[in-house]
Structure 1
């Protein structure tokens, strides 16, 4: 009866194959995924909150603003959606603000990257109001 255990010579190809697979997975992990190209704010010197805070918490801030406005009647400009668009406007080739339908829209850049649905614009406009901004966009 033959011994079915692998010899040392048979271990090397298997060990080498395993090492190659681990090396490939390590390379993919180190290479990472390219980050989205987030458009810079075009107006203002500073955001209403720290950039890192807003990246992580903007949804909570907007929901809090919504609750204060809709449920309590308190309207402030600090965290309003209109305020976001005043600074974070992205213009297209025609020099007009792009809407949420355009992948370059400020909100879509990160939300598309993270595969998160943006449903704000089912009710709200996704561009600043030209009349209220003095026609300057």
Structure 2
């Protein structure tokens, strides 16, 4: 069983350890949906709450100059063979192709989807 680093600060997590191990992804997904769809930020289960306590320095990230959640999360996720997708967006460094159109696959299907979307948007503008 993995033994992730102790919290950087704080004595107690938002929920008991067994609840967080089992349900943290549901808490984060729910918070993500509220943030993206309704603009509700800064709630109890935000990723920032995790970062405040569990982010640690790692020599693999910016030469150990910044705190990151990656080592804390990676131990259990590797043990459980579960991928982490949080850091595809929540990453301090700009990565070309993320968050812009170049991230789409360069095939005809993606181009067709873009064309259909542009056509639909143009219809909406005519109303």
- Provide the rounded CA distance (Å) in 2 between the counterparts of 1:60 and 1:43: 23
Higher helix share: 2
State the SS of the aligned residue for 2:9.
coil
Q: Does 1:90 align with 2:77?
A: no
Give the structure-1-normalised TM-score.
Answer: 0.57
Max Rg structure:
1
Matches within 5 A, 1:72-91: 72-91=38-57
Structure 2 gap ranges (5+) = 93-127
Give the structure-2-normalised TM-score.
Answer: 0.62
User: Match of 1:12?
Assistant: none
Structure 1 gap ranges (5+) = 1-34, 127-137
Q: Deviations over 1:69-103 (max 9, x none)?
A: 11112113311111101100222356533563xxx
User: Match of 2:12?
Assistant: 46
